[in-house]
Amino acid sequence: MAKIQMKTPLVEMDGDEMTRIIWKMIKDILILPHVDLKTEYYDLSLVHRNETDDKVTVESAEATKKYGVAVKCATITPNAARMTEYDLKEMWKSPNGTIRAILDGTVFRAPILVKGITPYIPTWKKPICIARHAYGDVYKNTEMIVEQGSKAELCVTKPDGTVETSLIHDFAKSDGIIQGMHNLDSSISSFARACFNYALDRKQDLWFATKDTISKKYDHRFKDIFQQIFDSEYKEKFAEAGITYFYTLIDDAVARVIRSEGGYIWACKNYDGDVMSDMIATAFGSLAMMTSVLVSPDGVYEYEAAHGTVQRHYYKHLKGEETSTNSVATLFAWSGALRKRGELDGTPDLCAFADALEKATLATIEDGVMTGDLYALSTLENKTKVNTETFLREVGVRLSKIIRNA
């Protein structure tokens, strides 16, 4: 059979440790036999980032802007231990942080649902996708410990030199603490547009929530910016797509999420997103079944798995021991990127291949063939634990069958 052709290259960002091993296996076993794969390859392994003084990360982000779609392998964010392990020139920044800053993007995380791995919340039938605003608030704050007898004020020097002050608290009766934080209209607007675009892309409702009744200026600003952008740029597009934008208070949102069936995008302020994304990931089953996509306000997409490089498994692999590492989220990063490439290029064959790849992956697990992490969770009666490579070969068998019967 002739291989599927691609019009435009995909930006391919290779990474580290066990996920780098899985990356090559996915390409060799599942993609290259069926697709005439065109990629612009960037090696984001820590070794190569160090050799290039991290320039390769910046170049890969620039290429993503140019081509519109990227797929990224998990990468090491160096810490003190990695400085010694890899003999690094510098403690290079998180590649994801660098790429996100260049693309001005928002990260959306969605769980992959599969029969046998049941969410802890019985009403959840469809994925809940979380969008976390990744700028400001408590993550860029200034804090102080305040001594009794002090008076704390918020003070802003305006462009004309005048100063506006407002009392935070008169600490007459006790020692205490204060915290100053900020956000930017430009960042909130980018976040809002990325969320509205992604909702249109997925044809799913968008929920957003803050505590605007208590925070009448700060949180209210988020609510107002979302509403203004929705009314002026997205109202009609949403109506055409048959989806809605829904705003509510954060506590009401949490209660509704638990009672819901799922199947929507939940936009969260930075802290809410940090906390709620861990809750959602755990409640749906496993971090290894969570995909992640970075979407820029001008519609550039970068797909990856939400988990890291699975270091413990990599060291076993290096010692020649068998591993049973879950490749599903990395696989879905590839299928997501190939489908988006197909949509943008108008190549339906590529989109159909992405669908088939996902279908074959889920069918493998639903047939009871799975890696150790899922084996521990699955409620299927007949299940078998397989190693990293066998799982991918089993997916490959089902993929070929789906393609042959299409």
Helix (H) or strand (E) holding 292: strand 290-295
Q: Residue 195, class by beta-carbon neighbours within 10 Å (0-12 exposed, 13-18 middle, 19+ buried)?
A: buried
Contact mark string toward Mg ion, 219..258, x via CB under 5 A = ----------------------------------------
CB of 356 to ligand NAP, least distance (A): 22
Contact mark string toward Mg ion, 3..42, x via CB under 5 A = ----------------------------------------
Strand ranges inside 39-99, DSSP E: 39-43, 69-72
Q: Which is nearer to Mg ion, 274 or 298 (CB)?
A: 274
CA distances from 37 to 32, 65, 172 (A): 6, 20, 69
Q: Applying CB under 6 A, does 268 fall inside the site for ligand NAP?
A: no
Q: Which is nearer to ligand NAP, 95 or 127 (CB)?
A: 95
Q: Applying CB under 6 A, does 308 fall inside the site for ligand NAP?
A: yes
Residues 156, 105: Cα–Cα separation, whole Å: 29
Q: Which among 42, 47, 38, 39 is positioned nearest to 17, based on CA atoms? A: 47
Q: Which is nearer to ligand NAP, 175 or 278 (CB)?
A: 278
Coil, strand or helix at 2: coil
The Cβ of residue 38 has, within 10 Å, a number of other Cβ atoms equal to 13
Contact mark string toward ligand NAP, 212..251, x via CB under 6 A = ----------------------------------------
Residues 169, 162: Cα–Cα separation, whole Å: 22
Sorted by sequence, the CB contacts under 8 Å of residue 281 that are 6+ apart come out as 109, 111, 287, 290, 306
Using the rule CB under 6 A, give the single segment among 61-69, 154-162, 221-229, 310-318 that binds ligand NAP. 310-318
Q: For residue 140, which amino acid is it?
A: K
CB of 268 to Mg ion, least distance (A): 11
Residues 18, 74: Cα–Cα separation, whole Å: 9
CB of 307 to ligand NAP, least distance (A): 3
Using the rule CB under 5 A, give the single segment among 91-99, 225-233, 236-244, 266-274 that binds Mg ion. 266-274
Using the rule CB under 5 A, give the single segment among 10-18, 50-58, 118-126, 269-277 that binds Mg ion. 269-277
Q: Applying CB under 6 A, does 13 fall inside the site for ligand NAP?
A: no
Q: Which is nearer to ligand NAP, 153 or 315 (CB)?
A: 315
- 233 close to 90: Cβ distance less than 8 angstroms: no
Q: For residue 227, which amino acid is it?
A: Q
Report what 307 binds from ligand NAP, Mg ion, none; CB cut-off 5-8 Å by kind: ligand NAP
Q: Applying CB under 6 A, does 8 fall inside the site for ligand NAP?
A: no
- 14 close to 44: Cβ distance less than 8 angstroms: yes
Q: Applying CB under 6 A, does 369 fall inside the site for ligand NAP?
A: no
Which residue has its beta carbon closest to ligand NAP? 308
When binding is defined by CB under 6 A, the residue of 54, 212, 272, 373 that contacts ligand NAP is 373
CA distances from 293 to 107, 124, 246, 307, 334 (A): 6, 22, 22, 12, 11
Q: Which is nearer to ligand NAP, 279 or 403 (CB)?
A: 279
The Cβ of residue 233 has, within 10 Å, a number of other Cβ atoms equal to 13
Q: Applying CB under 6 A, does 312 fall inside the site for ligand NAP?
A: yes
Of residues 54 through 113, those in contact with ligand NAP by CB under 6 A are 74-77, 96
Q: Applying CB under 5 A, does 274 fall inside the site for Mg ion?
A: yes
Q: Which residues lie near ligand NAP (CB under 6 A)?
A: 74-77, 96, 287-288, 304, 307-312, 325-326, 373
